[in-house]
Structure 1
């Protein structure tokens, strides 16, 4: 059974949405604290090394019974649960994560704790800065070849929606397309010369 679970074909970490095949199985309820659940299939799921290291043996407490989203039972994560806010000046924007406002209060609280406890926001920051620089280079190339920037970015967004709307690349491109001021900047403004 464990061997079968390790042979998964997930292209992203179900805990954080980072691209790359997770190479370990994590115990949702830590085996040191709950040894009787250590080989229960619903207690095991693939997770990337960064998430597993941050998670460790953390469990909830009386005030917050759960710190982590469970990829099998928390079905609300089939929808997009985080949004990236990209704020001007667009030459050097500020990025912040926002929790989807369509979530119920308890689910939104769980997403916040999950992001905080796994330190996802810190890894997001690096990824989104690098992805934004890539976006500026791509935009420059699209302009030079006469491509429709919005339509091309929409194609990127659609392509990144699989396997999850919470995959980092999808969150990025969806957030870019939802920001009309940023799209206007990408289409018409003088882009930074050092890309």
Structure 2
């Protein structure tokens, strides 16, 4: 996961702008009356996000007695996504993704916004900026969990969690035919038990182990010829190790916990792979 600076825009700014473009005056009035409740929901979310308490936020289908979750979902899709006034905020949030890459998986292109807590169950957070995370389409639509039910299954949040400077994503070479890579989490000693569980939950929720393994398989196939070429020189195993270690250093300089960083480091440190095991690449 990549860290992103928390948005400076708030619900107090975004919500009334979105509401102002609603055509029906009566509906606009009902939405406007929800402003304080929207602000309170934003504050509650921020107070609970890093404490393992997000799961205690109550779901609801009706806000302020007369605004449904469908009403607020439509405010997001119809006013924040579709109307120029709201779209300016939508685009600003997407553009906050580092290098345009999804911060949730560190792989796909950030082209949409993911609701950390789904707008269907938490309608007050439908257009709250800190609940909207730039993401790729796969992360946005492929979550394995709808919303957390306990503290240990709350995923990481790019605006509030920062684990970029500590190595935690690891890979392991499966010495099979064909060989493959398995990805996992190595919790940092300074992490709390809760943070460690949330990192594991993050990989599971977005099915990242499977994503990284499939991407690694493609990369391995592309490097097999080059590894054989290096191995056949006088440098042999040492040459293969150096090549892989150099690649690991390069990728770690950009992102310590990318799947490429974990893959190249695992390969460089595996004697079996470097001494000819790479020939089992499919």
Could you say which TM-score interval applies, normalised by the shorter chain? 0.7 to 0.9
Partner deviation per Cα, 1:123-159 (whole Å, 9 max, x = no partner): 2221122222223222123345767332322222222
Picking from 101, 105, 114, the partner of 1:16 is 105
Distance 1:169-1:83 versus aligned 2 partners, 3 A rule: same
2:239 counterpart of 1:153 = no
Q: Which protein has the bigger helix share? A: 2
Q: Which runs of 5+ in 1 are unaligned?
A: none
Secondary structure in 2 matching 1:138: helix
Kept in 2: contact 1:84–1:171 (CA 8 A): yes
Secondary structure in 1 matching 2:99: coil
Structure of greater Rg? 2
Q: What is the aligned length?
A: 188
Q: How many Å separate the matches in 1 of 2:280 and 2:204?
A: 36
Picking from 97, 101, 113, the partner of 1:25 is 113
2:264 alignment counterpart: 173
Q: Which runs of 5+ in 2 are unaligned?
A: 1-88
Q: How many Å separate the matches in 2 of 1:83 and 1:52?
A: 24
TM-score (norm 2): 0.57
Kept in 1: contact 2:169–2:259 (CA 8 A): no
1:80 alignment counterpart: 167
Superposed, which structure 2 residues align to 1:11-160 within 5 Å? 11-18=100-107, 20-55=108-143, 58-61=146-149, 63-64=150-151, 66-89=153-176, 92-102=178-188, 103-143=191-231, 148-160=239-251
TM-score (norm 1): 0.79
Kept in 1: contact 2:155–2:202 (CA 8 A): yes
Q: How many Å separate the matches in 2 of 1:133 and 1:190?
A: 13
Kept in 2: contact 1:12–1:167 (CA 8 A): no
How far residue 52 of structure 1 moved from its aligned partner, in angstroms, is 1.0
Kept in 2: contact 1:32–1:57 (CA 8 A): no
